[in-house]
């Protein structure tokens, strides 16, 4: 009987934000799937397929806003189904077997089943290699958008955005980053620490200051040149889902005519429009609140595509309206195509 306990443990850690950050979540999900496919044995293809699908669903349901994880799990499932079809067609073409008989062989031949099982396990590593390759390319592309002396606003904590900012600093571009504290969990402190440790001049601002601070229409000693933030997910129409507070920042940048770039990835695009904005516990905002007080605590919000100048991907800076065509060109499997 298939064992889901270790997969459920990782799903619980993702749900509780013990594991956080799109890349970290994806890595954790892929690692456990790879380990379980190598550890467990299955009696036939149907059992292997059932386990892979159900285990993937456990991870997918852990958090709504993890399309990189969703897409990697979908990729592995597509590999599993494609390999099954290949074997069935190959056997039926090379022998007098009917497709039905060759399907029965797939169910009962343990060597074929083990080969498919290993191929699917390997597909998680393939996807992680995609993530690594695109990260290097994204830093290279992202730093070209930053000019000498830029004042840049950042929100929450995104390793993709932080890597670009540190990369520009190391190129000697003399930038200054203003990052938000990002309440109620203060992920901005992680960003500040990373930037300061890398030697990047950094100033923290309160979340409620951000919109006004970005708007260059008032007299200030600081002129903001760009906004560069990460994202949790991107919708196919170019809307960007990120930590709550991003909408205000995006709207202010759009109102002020300041370029807003998203350090993203095609692998973070939600192609099936399945994401719902998560609400988290009121205790994160005020643990000892008055008993009759209700608190709305959205974990994320959404920046309209019209506010986004471009999405920094491994394939270049993509305008929001070009996302679907770009995915079709480079990752057609995300759209159910081959």
Give the pLDDT confidence of 114-126 residue by residue, as tens digits: 889 999 999 999 9
Q: For the chain, what is the domain count?
A: 2
In percent, how much of the chain has pLDDT > 70?
92
For residue 283, pLDDT beyond 50: yes
Say what the pLDDT of residue 98 is: 46
- Based on the domain organization, do 131 and 235 belong to the same domain? no
| pLDDT digits 0-9 by tens, 35-62 | 999 999 898 889 999 999 999 999 999 9
Same domain for 156 and 185?
yes
Judged against a pLDDT cut of 80, whether residue 324 lies above it is answered with yes
Domain final position from 107, 137, 167: 137
Residues 180 and 34 in one domain: no
Residue 102 has pLDDT above 80, yes or no: no
CATH of the domain at 82: 1.20.120.420
pLDDT recorded at residue 4: 95
Whether 133 and 167 map to the same domain: the answer is: no
Say yes or no: 206 and 93 in one domain: no
109 with 175, same domain: the answer is: no
pLDDT (average), residues 62-72? 89
Query: Are residue 148 and residue 83 in the same domain, yes or no?
Result: no
**Does the CA dihedral 57-58-60-64 come out positive or negative?**
positive
pLDDT at 322 over 60: yes
Q: Which two tokens stand for residue 66?
A: 């993890």
215 a catalytic residue: no
For residue 205, pLDDT beyond 70: yes
Q: Clarify whether residues 149 and 284 are in a common domain.
A: yes
Q: Which residue among the candidates 232, 239, 273, 283 is catalytic per the annotation?
A: 232
Same domain, 36 and 150: no
Whether 73 contacts 33, CB under 8 Å: yes
Instruction: Yes or no: say if 153 and 248 are a contact pair by the CB < 8 Å rule.
Output: no
- Residue 189's domain comprises 144-335
CATH number at 201 reads 3.40.50.10470
The pLDDT tens digits for 222-262 are: 899 999 999 999 999 999 999 999 999 999 999 999 999 99
Q: Is the peptide bond before 184 cis (omega within 30 degrees of 0)?
A: yes
Among 63-72, 192-201, 272-281, top mean pLDDT goes to: 192-201
* 104/153 same-domain check: no
Average pLDDT rounded to a whole number, residues 260-275 = 92
Laid out side by side, the sheet with 316-318 consists of: 202-205, 176-180, 151-154, 226-229, 260-263, 310-313, 316-318
Instruction: Give the end of a domain, one of 111, 137, 163.
Output: 137
Average pLDDT over residues 262-282: 91
**In 3-state terms, the chain is what percent helix, strand and coil (to 5)?**
55, 15, 35
Position 100 pLDDT exceeds 50 = no
pLDDT bracket for residue 104 (50, 70, 90): low
Q: How confident is the model at residue 274 (pLDDT cuts 50, 70, 90)?
A: confident
Predicted confidence band at 186 (pLDDT cuts at 50, 70, 90)?
A: very high
Domain end position, chosen among 114, 137, 160: 137
User: CA–CA separation, 159 vs 165, rounded Å?
Assistant: 10
């Amino acid at each position: 009987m298939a064992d889901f306990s270790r997969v459920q443990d990782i799903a619980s850690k993702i749900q509780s934000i013990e594991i956080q950050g799109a890349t970290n979540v994806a890595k954790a999900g892929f690692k456990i799937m790879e380990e379980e496919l190598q550890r467990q044995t299955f009696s036939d293809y149907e059992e292997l397929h059932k386990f892979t699908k159900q285990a993937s669903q456990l991870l997918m349901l852990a958090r709504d806003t993890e399309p990189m994880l969703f897409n990697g799990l979908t990729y592995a499932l597509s590999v599993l189904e494609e390999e099954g079809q290949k074997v069935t067609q190959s056997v039926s073409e090379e022998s007098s077997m009917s497709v039905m008989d060759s399907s029965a062989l797939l169910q009962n031949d343990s060597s074929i089943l083990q080969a498919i099982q290993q191929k699917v396990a390997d597909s998680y590593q393939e996807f992680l290699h995609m993530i690594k390759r695109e990260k290097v390319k994204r830093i290279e592309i992202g730093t070209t958008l930053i000019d000498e002396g830029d004042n840049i606003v950042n929100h929450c904590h995104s390793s993709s955005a932080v890597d670009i900012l540190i990369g520009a600093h190391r190129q000697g571009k003399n930038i200054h980053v203003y990052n938000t504290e990002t309440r109620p969990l203060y992920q901005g402190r992680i960003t500040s620490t990373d930037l300061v440790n890398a030697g990047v001049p950094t100033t923290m601002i309160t979340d409620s200051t951000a919109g006004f601070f970005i708007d260059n229409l008032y007299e200030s000693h600081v002129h903001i040149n760009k906004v560069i933030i990460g994202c949790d997910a991107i919708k196919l129409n170019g809307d960007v889902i990120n930590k709550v507070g991003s909408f205000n920042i995006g709207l202010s940048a759009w109102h002020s005519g300041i370029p807003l770039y998203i350090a993203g990835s095609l692998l973070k695009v939600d192609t099936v429009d399945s994401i719902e904005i998560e609400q988290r516990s009121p205790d994160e905002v005020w643990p000892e609140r008055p008993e009759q007080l209700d608190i709305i605590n959205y974990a994320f919000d959404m920046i309209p595509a019209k506010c986004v100048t471009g999405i920094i991907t491994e394939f270049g800076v993509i305008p929001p309206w070009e996302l679907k065509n770009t995915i079709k060109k480079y990752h057609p499997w995300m759209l159910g195509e081959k």
